A = this chain, B = another copy of it.
Amino acid sequence: MYSMTQLVRRAAQTNGNAIATLDGERSQTWKEFAVRVAAFGGGLQKLGIANGDCAAILALNSDRYFEFMFAVPWAGGVFQPVNTRLAGPEVTYWLTDSEAKVVFVDASFVPLIEKIRGDLPHVEHFVFIDDGDVPAGYRSYTDLVSADPMPDAGREGDDVAGLFYTGGTTGRSKGVMLSHANLVVNALQAFSVFDMSPTDKVLHVAPMFHIADAFVCLMTAATAGSNFFQPAFDPVSTMKGVQEYSIDRMLLVPTMINMFVNHPEVENFDLKSLSQILYGASPMPEPVIKKAMEILPHTQFYQAYGQTEAAPCITLLDAGRHTFEGPLAGKMKSAGQAIAGVELAVLDEKGAPVETGVVGEVCMKGPNVMLGYRNMEEQTNNTIVDGWLHTGDGGYLDEDGFLFIVDRVKDMIVSGGENVYSAEVENAIYQHDAVAQCAVIGIPSEKWGEQVHVIVVPKEGMDVSEDDLIAHCKTLIAGFKCPRSVSYQSAPLPLSGAGKILKTELRKPFWKDGERNVN
């Protein structure tokens, strides 16, 4: 059977003297990491973590985050990464719903935890994971990981290993229960397209609380590669890290790639070691990937599409398809093809497959489909129907089996009876030189039901009039898809912790009671 902890033992066996984690001054080999995880497991056991108990973490990226991800399952527990962008009440909800018994916190989040400490009836211990003085009311990480090692609790297969709450960009957060099998198999499935090796040096800058980077952690554990950490993405620090450690692989979300390749300092660093960038988690505007391919000509780009409920990867667009010329061109706007062991289909409202080229809901089957939502049987049954995981994304398959995501079903605008996919409109708007950032939403319209509206952040020192922008769009997409109104702001658009633009926030001022009356 599968287990996350078997990956650790195998890594120690097959690449034991290679670096498992390096974070600033701290580094350890895979052999040392395996010993560490067993001791950390012993420490968790002493704190009362037993089979199926939840331990949560609220922290920026670090080697200790990586240790936590493997030590909690070693002790038989369930690891719960907490989104670092949440407000206090949201954190309270996540930790209460999960019934987490132990919470790991770094220095950045002690103030937040202190505000809600009284509202967390299930939490028995707080552990401070940074070096330096341990605040009152917290246990020391160093003490915890110095406990007597425990044997692996031996959880595997369908036992819950991780509990990932969905981003919460719409509706109430749901706790996605992922099994040992889900998490391990998805890494193996990805290897059918995305090659990784024991000599990889992977930099973790995308937030580790997000399933996308957890997926990368599982892949590096499965191949016994080396992991490097930075607390969070910052263009210049990331460039420095790549140069200093000769990083060869990195996961970024499109907004990070945008900031990275458009940063004036990008020319000043040696980034030639960077052989692969995996990106995903939100749609990639074509001008951004084009720029990225120009700025980083030595780098192969892979796009992953998926969601937490699929642990997470569903499709991959391989590096060979990142081209504008030749027989492999023409697929760059797609999310790629189903990875091996995933069955992918686009279904209509009744659950029947639609024809090639027709938009419907993206659905999939495979061993990577979640166990379900914690304590939400009804939502689980609405999401996994006849074995099909319903992603909530609208898309279509072309005749070569490439998946094109047109929008979140929830972000689709219905205007005058026509479906307008915001991503398609955004793509057109991003091709205007003056646009730094944009988001297309539906706003109320007496005439059309909803009308297409765009919020634009112009590039510094540039601007574009409403008429010009609409005229620009008309050269690229059908008239009914073009914005009917534009608003401007100079501040960056609000992002979720995963780097997705928070359209719920942007819609609020336009809708009565702040809520659009769809799903």
Please tell me if the beta carbons of B366 and A7 are within 8 angstroms of each other in the complex.
no
Please tell me if the beta carbons of B401 and A14 are within 8 angstroms of each other in the complex.
yes
Known: A2-B366, A188-B191, A365-B1. A7 touches B340 (CB 8 A): yes
Number of copies: 2
Q: Does A143 contact B (CB under 8 A)?
A: no
Contact with B along A279-321 (1 / 0, CB 8 A): 0000000000000000000000000000000000000000000
Residues of A within 8 A of B (CB): 1-2, 6-7, 9-10, 13-16, 157, 181, 184-185, 187-189, 191-192, 195-196, 222-223, 337-338, 340-344, 365-367, 369, 387, 397, 400-401
Known: A1-B366, A6-B365. A340 touches B223 (CB 8 A): yes
Please tell me if the beta carbons of B342 and A1 are within 8 angstroms of each other in the complex.
no
Please tell me if the beta carbons of A13 and B338 are within 8 angstroms of each other in the complex.
yes
Please indicate the chain B residues that have their CB under 8 angstroms from the CB of A222 in the complex. 192, 340-341
Please indicate the chain B residues that have their CB under 8 angstroms from the CB of A223 in the complex. 192, 340
> Which of A9, A337, A341, A400 has most chain B Cβ within 10 Å?
A341
Q: Which of B188, B338, B387 sits near A189, CB closer than 8 Å? A: B188
Q: A10-B338, A188-B188, A222-B340 are in contact. List 6 more A-B contacts (CB 8 A).
A: A1-B365, A6-B343, A6-B365, A10-B343, A14-B400, A192-B223
Known: A13-B397, A185-B185. A341 touches B191 (CB 8 A): no
Q: Which of B6, B15, B16, B340 sits near A188, CB closer than 8 Å? A: B340
Q: Which of B14, B195, B367, B397 sits near A338, CB closer than 8 Å? A: B14
Query: Nearest chain B CB to A200's CB is how many angstroms away?
Result: 12
Please indicate the chain B residues that have their CB under 8 angstroms from the CB of A6 in the complex. 341, 343, 365-366
Please indicate the chain B residues that have their CB under 8 angstroms from the CB of A2 in the complex. 341, 366-367
Please tell me if the beta carbons of B397 and A337 are within 8 angstroms of each other in the complex.
no
Q: Which of B188, B341, B344 sits near A13, CB closer than 8 Å? A: B344
Please indicate the chain B residues that have their CB under 8 angstroms from the CB of A367 in the complex. 1-2, 157, 181, 185
Please indicate the chain B residues that have their CB under 8 angstroms from the CB of A195 in the complex. 195
> Which of A7, A365, A369, A387 has most chain B Cβ within 10 Å?
A365
For the complex of A and B, 4 pairs with smallest distance between CB atoms? A13-B401, A191-B191, A188-B188, A14-B401
Which residue on chain B has the smallest CB distance to residue A189?
B188
A10 to B193, CA, bound (A): 14
Please tell me if the beta carbons of A10 and B397 are within 8 angstroms of each other in the complex.
no
Query: Nearest chain B CB to A477's CB is how many angstroms away?
Result: 28
Please tell me if the beta carbons of B181 and A188 are within 8 angstroms of each other in the complex.
no
A369 to B1, CA, bound (A): 8
Q: Which of B16, B157, B344 sits near A401, CB closer than 8 Å? A: B16
> Which of A14, A187, A387, A397 has most chain B Cβ within 10 Å?
A14
Please tell me if the beta carbons of B340 and A187 are within 8 angstroms of each other in the complex.
yes
A14 to B338, CA, bound (A): 7
Which residue on chain B has the smallest CB distance to residue A184?
B341
Query: Nearest chain B CB to A217's CB is how many angstroms away?
Result: 14
Please indicate the chain B residues that have their CB under 8 angstroms from the CB of A343 in the complex. 6, 9-10
A266 to B369, CA, bound (A): 49
Please indicate the chain B residues that have their CB under 8 angstroms from the CB of A7 in the complex. 340-341
Please indicate the chain B residues that have their CB under 8 angstroms from the CB of A1 in the complex. 365-367, 369, 387
